[in-house]
Amino acid sequence: MRQEREGPTDAPLVSAIIPTHDRAGMIMRAVASALGQTYPNMEVIVVDDGSGDDTPRRLAAVADPRLRVIRRERAGGVSAARNAGIAVARGAYVALLDSDDEWLPEKTARQLAFMAAGGHLLCQTQEIWMRSGRRVNAGKVHRKPDGFFFEAALRSCLVSPSTTLFAREFFEAVGVFDESLPACEDYDLWLRTLLCHPIGLVDAYLAVRHGGRVDQLSAIYCGQDLFRIRSMVGLLSRPETTSWHRDCIEKELRRKARVYATGCLKRDRPEEAERVLALVETALLSAGDRETAAP
């Protein structure tokens, strides 16, 4: 991946990545909000992940040269689509925007100023929640935190992709999205980040999150604890995971495994409950063995 500056000023280029699949009725709102940023030096990359609806025609009608559309066969889901956009992005900074969300005009400019002042590799903003077209009040538990909040992030996903801005160096230090996870891929990336890096916060409502639809991953994958369990198991073997991190992971891993297994038993799936509980115990035992053997 390379970094370059474009445009009439020395302002660094920001690449907005928008993955989409069959969201012709929403994609133009997202694109318009990215192209409508007050920050002048933007490129907007839409990764069309095999849409079969009117998405390609609508995108083709946009005359703005800052818009780039990558058409790919549907494979790998949102993680692969985001990674494909990141791979071709030319900006010194990368921002993510889900195709059903939108940004307020000042988002990019305010985050860039924050990043320049604090030296963060990643920051987020607060977000406005809309559900079925109506604004809803998010609880205090959903307010975005700042800094190192690894332990809290284990329990629930505390970063929303559409609120983020990354420095290019982030992906070299932390990596990209895990394409083996069909859901909770963002939860996994934030945990990997928080092992070593803080996540900054611009404490202002600069993104709008639209929910309440059946095509969202949170609705498709109702039992998302399984993917969070898989993510935490993977963290146990990472070299940057300290004994404190492992203690935090073990506590939450056991809790999530119990919740998941209880749900399986209620649905008459005892084999799946037993499989996941065994997976967790084996992973924790291996992590303990590695820590004991470490010099």
pLDDT at 115: 95
The SS3 assignment for 110 reads: helix
Structure tokens given for 249: 């992971």
Residue % of the chain over a pLDDT of 70: 91
Q: What is the pLDDT of residues 211-270, one digit of tens each?
A: 864 554 444 444 689 999 999 999 999 999 999 999 999 999 999 999 999 999 999 999
Q: Rg (Cα) of the chain, in Å, rounded?
A: 20
pLDDT at 131: 86
pLDDT at 169: 96
Complete DSSP assignment for 167-236? ETHHHHHH----TT-SS-HHHHHHHHHHTT--BEEEEEEEEEEEE--TTSHHHH-S-THHHHHHHHHHHH
pLDDT at 292: 67
How many Cβ atoms from other residues are within 10 Å of residue 199's Cβ?
23
For the whole model, what pTM was predicted? 0.89
> Which segments in the chain show pLDDT lower than 70?
1-9, 212-223, 291-295
pLDDT at 132: 79
Distance between CA 138 and CA 90 in Å, rounded? 35
Whether 221 and 227 have beta carbons less than 8 Å apart is answered as yes
